Amino acid sequence: MISDNLIDVRKRIEAAALRAGRDQGDIKLIAVSKTKPVDMIEECIRAGQYAFGENRVQELVEKIPQLPAELEWHLIGHLQKNKVKYIVGQVELIHSVDTVALAEQIQREAQKKKCDVNILLEVNVAMEETKTGFYVEDVYNACCQIAEFSNVHIKGLMTVAPFVKNPEENRVIFRKLKHLLVDIQSKKVDNVHMTELSMGMTNDYEIAIEEGATMVRVGTALFGARNYAVKK
């Protein structure tokens, strides 16, 4: 049952927050519903969840009109510049801005639509070749450039940690992202107020919370394993 899963995940979030001396109200659970049908999302809503994450633009824009308008949607997957026009104005937060050029495209579209867009900068902390995201040493410069875009607001940083058997191995990754956030905060870039840290998935969200996550993106623990063989 999704409702039981949700209760379990919330309990674990609370326990992890407690261990770290944090307030669980400062941690937002984003239910990652990618590949899962609308009726499963509805079940999750009935259990009290309102923030959902999707990683593909097309799937997201198909699901949004089928569900209550008051939900909060998060784009968590790689965004191509040619898809920006479909997403601006539709989501609460884009977690996966990985180039200045992408932020610039978001700015153009936001200006056109006269709206504001909240983003996170995705950081490839582990420097994995297969992954997108800024390298740690490039984030500050990117921040300064994106700060010039009047309709785009950087709210914080996001990372996708490697898949590891023992989630403890990712603690150092989360700690590095937190350090980077604190470091950039201390440099006080004009127009940038970064406070959010989107980090932690089913395998490692409790550790991410201990290291300062303000948003965790949890899919499998809520909705069960995804079947990519059927749904591409």
Ligand X SMILES: *Cc1c(COP(=O)(O)O)cnc(C)c1O
Measure the CA angle with vertex 119, ends 65 and 17; round to 5°. Answer: 95
Residue 157 in contact with residue 177, Cβ under 8 Å? yes
* Binding of residue 214 to ligand X (CB under 6 A): no
Considering the complex, what minimum distance in angstroms separates the CB of residue 71 from ligand X?
17
Region 52-91 residues binding ligand X, contact defined as CB under 6 A: 55, 76-77
Nearest alpha carbon to residue 117 among 125, 108, 126: 108
Q: Which of these segments, 13-21, 98-106, 170-178, 212-220, binds ligand X (CB under 6 A)?
A: 212-220
* Nearest 10 degrees: Cα torsion 56, 57, 59, 60: 110
- C-alpha distances out from residue 160 to 6, 28, 75, 101, 188, Å: 22, 16, 13, 21, 25
Specify which residues 155 forms β-bridges with.
none
Please pick, from the candidates 66, 145, 150, 220, the single residue that binds ligand X as defined by CB under 6 A: 220
* Binding of residue 34 to ligand X (CB under 6 A): yes
Q: Which of these segments, 4-12, 58-66, 144-152, 201-209, binds ligand X (CB under 6 A)?
A: 201-209
Please pick, from the candidates 79, 117, 143, 160, the single residue that binds ligand X as defined by CB under 6 A: 160
Residues that bind ligand X (CB under 6 A): 32, 34, 55, 76-77, 160, 201-203, 217-220
